[in-house]
Amino acid sequence: MNLATIQRVTNVQPIEGADTIECVTVLGWDVVCKKREYNVGDLCCYIQIDTVVPEKDEFEFLRSKKFRVKTIKLRGQLSQGLIIPIDVLPKGTPKSFHPYTEGQDVTDIIGVKKYEKPDNNPIRETKPKRPSKFWPRLKYDFKYHFLYRWLPYLRPKIRSPFPKHLVPITDEERIQNMPKVLEQYKGKDFVASYKFDGSSITIIHERNFFRKPVYRICSRRFELHDKNNEWYKVFVDTNFKKYIDLLVTIFHTDNIIVQGEAIGSFNGNHHGLQKNEIRLFNIFVDGKRLKQDEFIDICETHYIPHCPAYWIGAISFTLPDILEFAQIKDYLNPRVEAEGLVFRCVEDDLSFKVINNKYLLKEK
């Protein structure tokens, strides 16, 4: 994902009652900046919200926020993202220098990282506590001080990179980064589903050499081999394999992959649940994702837990309209704001998310 890109200023508007700041628009984002710093048509560097910038002098004003770029309101104006002048970017050597161009990705040049919510991903392998009894302690010392030290390939794997060759990582683009699709896809049928607030989970079903079913569990960034984590726990506690087995029977294939949101304690229990759940938003059959209308029909017919549809119809929104449309209450906990909606086209694989700005402003 391009977290920092070169973009062109498309609009500059005054902010009522503000003498030193104004609202600058890039793509579909409104950002509060110093007055007269940018004009319509200027190129600038836009850094998305929910990112973390490096600890450099030009970003020192974000230290109190731990260098995270968030949605804020200034003088009643919503500000989403950060705009910095191009001239603060590295110039390069005379041989490698070239002018920055509109749309260019400068994420790595600046050192911007995606903000990751705290989760239970194992960061590294940790040794269990050394036993107190003699024989277990002897076995422990042999394993960790001799065997794994000299033959490290025998050490059990806790995680490995996400298997992107089988299924894409779940990460929808925000509509503000692709506002032109609202016009390009005008009149086409979409399904808008609730976006639940949790942690992504991917479950891969296959069979081993002995034709026994195998269930591979992944977080958003990793495949998890050690079962001592919350993803395996919610998979077991919800007996979710019965839904996978059902899909295997329905589609007459072992090649089933499902993706969803693990919700509950994974992210502060925004939904107020008494126990953790899995809610699906994608089903892949033989490597092909089900179209969203078929996905909803399968889940509703067979009572498979999923992110329910909020709206189905032909899209005809403007950007301000669709942002307002996503300001809804949560499906599972109507006392709080929903995180937003995910729109998926019925005809093809285009999808995007519309995050509820009220949710973003209240997010801690």
Domains of the chain: 4-114 (2.40.50), 175-362 (3.30.470.30)
DSSP collapsed to 3 states, the chain: CCCEEEEEEEEEEECCCCCCEEEEEECCEEEEEECCCCCCCCEEEEECCCEECCCCHHHHHHHHHCCEECEEEECCEEEECEEECHHHCCCCCCCCCCCCCCCCECHHHHCCEECCCCCCCCCCCCCCCCCCCHHHHHHHHHHHHHHHHHCHHHCCCCEEECCCCCCCCCCCCEHHHCCCHHHHCCCCEEEEEEECCCEEEEEEEEECCCCCEEEEEECCCEEECCCCCHHHHHHHHCCCHHHHHHHHHHHCCCCEEEEEEEECHHHCCCCCCCCCEEEEEEEEECCEECCHHHHHHHHHHCCCCECCEEEEEECCCCHHHHHHHCCCECCCCCCCECCEEEEEECCCCCEEEEECHHHHHHCC
Q: What is the mean pLDDT of each run of 10 residues along the chain (364 residues)?
A: 90 90 93 92 93 90 90 90 87 57 90 76 59 84 76 74 91 91 95 94 91 91 88 95 96 96 88 94 95 94 96 94 96 95 92 94 73
Specify the pLDDT at position 93.
Answer: 45
Specify the pLDDT at position 322.
Answer: 96
Specify the pLDDT at position 130.
Answer: 83
